[in-house]
Amino acid sequence: MANPVDNEVVRTIDGIGGFTRLSATRDGISWKIGSAHNRISYISNSDGLVGMVSGAVGTQSTVPGAGTVVIGENFDSSWKLLLNGSAMKLLKNESGMPEFKVPSAGDVIIYHDGTSRRAWISLQAILAIFIIVLATPGRRRKREFADEELA
């Protein structure tokens, strides 16, 4: 990315799992792709790497056997994988990406559970409204006072 760079874009690329910054000079910034995979990949114990088609957040697919499912995102404990309806344990791989060990073949559902994030955002919104309500004045206006009270 050549200078001038947008710091938000740079921060986003730095935060994406699988990218390593090679250099940052006055001319610009360059990154290296650690291991080029699909966004969601299935690594079979016997056949190697197979890409999985993914939607905006997760996927619903089938794995042919035992292996590992790797998600090309930053590690977040909200990622979930269901294998034939059973939850699999979330692990963090050496690249800092979420992965799941799949013990057998079956249908998988991968999704990101954002319940805790929505709860924190809701709590912050309620707190902001509460502070605004408390900060507004609650007294009577001068014209609402009787003349006797003002004297």
Average pLDDT of the chain to the nearest whole number? 82
Residue-wise pLDDT tens digits, 35-58? 556 778 888 877 766 767 666 777
**In a domain? residue 23:** yes
**In a domain? residue 143:** no
Residue whose token pair is 């805790």: 116
What is the pLDDT, as a whole number, of residue 53? Answer: 66
Q: Are residues 5 and 52 in the same domain?
A: no
Residue whose token pair is 């994406």: 16
Q: Are residues 123 and 106 in the same domain?
A: yes
What is the pLDDT, as a whole number, of residue 121? Answer: 95
Q: How far apart are CA 77 and CA 117, in angstroms?
A: 11
Return the amino acid letter for 40.
Answer: I
What is the pLDDT, as a whole number, of residue 129? Answer: 96
Give the domain extent around 127.
Answer: 38-136
Q: Are residues 45 and 118 in the same domain?
A: yes
With a threshold of 0.75, does the pTM exceed it? no
**In a domain? residue 28:** yes
Q: Are residues 98 and 114 in the same domain?
A: yes
Residue-wise pLDDT tens digits, 59-109? 888 888 888 888 888 888 888 999 988 899 999 988 888 999 999 888 898
What is the pLDDT, as a whole number, of residue 128? Answer: 96
- Residue 38 near residue 46 (C-beta atoms within 8 A): no
Q: Are residues 51 and 73 in the same domain?
A: yes
E strand map for 12-136: 19-24, 29-33, 40-44, 48-52, 59-63, 67-71, 79-83, 86-87, 90-92, 98-102, 106-112
For the cut 60, the answer to whether the pLDDT of residue 6 exceeds it is yes
**In a domain? residue 147:** no
Q: Are residues 53 and 101 in the same domain?
A: yes
Residue whose token pair is 């999704």: 111
**In a domain? residue 11:** yes
Q: Are residues 27 and 48 in the same domain?
A: no
Q: Of 2-11, 47-56, 125-134, which range is least confident?
A: 47-56
How many domains does the chain contain in total?
2
Residue 21 binned pLDDT confidence (cut-offs 50, 70, 90): confident
**In a domain? residue 4:** yes
